[in-house]
Structure 1
Amino acid sequence: MEKGKKMALLVGCNYPKTPNELRGCHNDVLAMHEVLVAQFGFDPNHVELMIDKPGSLTMPTGANIKKALSRMIDQAEPGDVLFFHYSGHGTLIKARNLSKIEEAIVPCDFNLITSVDFRQLVNRVPKGATFTILSDSCHSGGLIDKETEQIGPSSTPRNSITPPFCKPKEIPFQSILQYFTSLTSKISTDIGAHLVEVFGSDASLMFRLPLHELEPISTPYLKPDEGILLSGCQANETSADVEIMTNGRKPCGAFSNTVQMVLKKNSGPLSNREIVLMARKILIMQHFNNQHPCLYCSDENAEAIFLSPPQKPSP
């Protein structure tokens, strides 16, 4: 593949015919595909799409998502732009040291992908390339472990008017635990034990590696790295799956829809910081006062142009 390429993985999980079903996640990534190709010059051959629609060739399971992200990183070179857009459920889980809560996304098979997994992926990105994650899921703030907070928790008043059809993109931890308990018959509150039994080597690194091997992955970095996270909400909040009929739009994720609005209305370049701030303003105007998008990345990447190649390789 040529240098200076742009590659993307777009994942939408609606969890059809389950108690956790959402309605807008497929629409989110299909709309993002159009934006990437038409506005950002992505080659359609370099954009992989995964949705949990019956009959899909590649379902967005935990293993499939991680394999696709790993392939993308393996192909990356300095000057490349990597992008991962996820729209679906998120959850909070307790790490094995029992002193920290970690964020995770919930693929269609519930094989959780944790903040430790994303930290490990970002660690592998070549210097001089960038890896941007846009996660429209609950509890997504801090999804890349140890990334620097640029735009974080907000104290905006919590009075809100719920828009028509609004569902949190959240699966409570207890629901996930009960589901896997029914599969493994283990009497344990350690979700990792269940996930490792069901998924084996495809389970999250957080649950498979000894603690002394996890520490180097999550050690705070002294130098800026290549990871950029635009999260749909802060870690203690939920992102919304809604029906906003502006311009005939179908059900969608509130954050995905807002980012796409910002990109389409501003033909000129926008920094990662500008996009998150604009998204916050629009969500407040739409009465989503309980959802505050956040930005986690280095100082340099906060001011960098969204989905544009770095001006020069990182030192």
Structure 2
Amino acid sequence: MPPTGQQTFQHQLVPGGQMQSAYFQYSQCNGKKKALLIGINYFGSPEALNGCIEDARRMKKFLLGHGYREEDMVMLTDDASHPRQQPTRQNMIDAMQWLVRDAQPNDSLFFHYSGHGGQTKDLDGDEDDGYDEVIYPVDFKRTSHIVDDEMHMIMVRGLPTGCRLTAIFDACHSGSALDLPYAYSTEGKLKEPNVKLGAAKGLFSTLVSFETRDMGGMIQGVTDLLDVASGRAQKAHEYTKATRTCAADVMSWSGCKDNQTSADAQIGGRSTGAMSDAFLTALARNPNPSYQQLLVEMRWILKEKYDQKPQVRSHRSR
């Protein structure tokens, strides 16, 4: 079981750069369990995927075997016949709000998204590389994407002390899709942003990937790259650390770095997201790993066939 009581850590405030103690509390995971599972194949579109609905179904089966009840789950897939079960933008926002509604200490909330992801120009200065991460509802061409700032505001900002949220993003450009400030390496150490490399790769991926064809994420120009590679990026990192912490117990797993893509794969004769498959395979091999062990195993599973590197992030610095 995780430690009980208040846990403290330090983060740097932007104005003046002074240090201030912050705190959080681990969930004991003996409260209510709720889950939101989203899988979008984008049927009939040029950008159709194959394995996302299957990912949602496999994740649901996994959760049913780990104390979650079907009546406490919401699943949105674009093969659903009922309009409220379609992964439209409004239904996804409503479902995120449902997931965290009436959350209490020691609850266990679980979010899984499998579908297209991308990047768009950061407008509030909280991104190291100058780009917000986004996910794409089935109706995104009509209603637009969902930005990481909005997901953080809905699912993280108002969580009570000691409530756990585990979020999984099997999507391209999803490394920081929940806007959590602290990224961890396979050695269990905090990672600092590589500003220049991240900016260059982020701009390149923005130019060549499907997901950025939605106006805001298209060509931003060389001036954006130079801007991101300057001190502004470090300020963004400090700002995020100061404004994206909370007293809850929040972890985010993603299929790749912000500047990478996540594979829609065929594994064992089954269409699936490579990251979702690696997550479930790793937990089947070791049902009780540490976060570090799980990250190492997922990367080991993927590295033979895929370039993507799963990421783990938290709202806390330990």
- Identify whether the pair has TM-score above 0.5, normalized to the shorter chain: yes
* 1:134 matched residue in structure 2: 168
SS at match of 2:215: helix
1:92 Cα deviation (Å)? 0.6
1:52 aligns with 2:78: yes
CA contact (8 A) 2:181 2:240 kept: no
Match of 1:281 among 296, 300, 303: 300
Amino acid at match of 2:164: T
**What are the ranges of 5 or more consecutive residues in structure 2 without an aligned counterpart?**
1-29, 186-190, 195-208, 221-238
SS at match of 1:229: strand
In 1: Cα distance, 2:182 partner to 2:54 partner: 30
Q: How does 1:291-310 map to 2 (within 5 A)?
A: 291-298=308-315
Q: Identify the structure with the greater strand proportion.
A: 2
SS at match of 1:107: coil
Query: Which 4+ runs in 1 deviate beyond 6 A?
Result: none
Match of 1:252 among 256, 266, 272: 272
* 1:311 matched residue in structure 2: none
* 1:202 matched residue in structure 2: none
* 1:306 matched residue in structure 2: none
CA contact (8 A) 1:244 1:251 kept: yes
CA contact (8 A) 2:76 2:87 kept: yes
Q: Structure 1-normalised TM-score?
A: 0.70
Match of 1:17 among 26, 44, 63: 44
CA contact (8 A) 1:119 1:217 kept: no
1:217 Cα deviation (Å)? 9.2
Match of 1:173 among 189, 206, 212: 212
In 1: Cα distance, 2:246 partner to 2:120 partner: 28
In 1: Cα distance, 2:93 partner to 2:308 partner: 27
Distance change (3 Å), C-alpha of 1:43 and 1:87: same
Amino acid at match of 1:260: L
In 2: Cα distance, 1:274 partner to 1:173 partner: 33
1:56 Cα deviation (Å)? 4.0
1:80 aligns with 2:107: yes
Q: Structure 2-normalised TM-score?
A: 0.70
Number of residue pairs matched by the alignment: 246
Amino acid at match of 1:50: L
State, as a whole percentage, how many aligned pairs show the same letter.
29
1:6 aligns with 2:36: no
* 1:185 matched residue in structure 2: none
Tell me the C-alpha RMSD between the 2 structures. Answer: 3.1
CA contact (8 A) 2:31 2:108 kept: yes
Match of 2:251 among 201, 225, 228: 228
Q: Deviations over 1:21-49 (max 9, x none)?
A: 000000001011111101x1111111111
CA contact (8 A) 2:180 2:315 kept: no
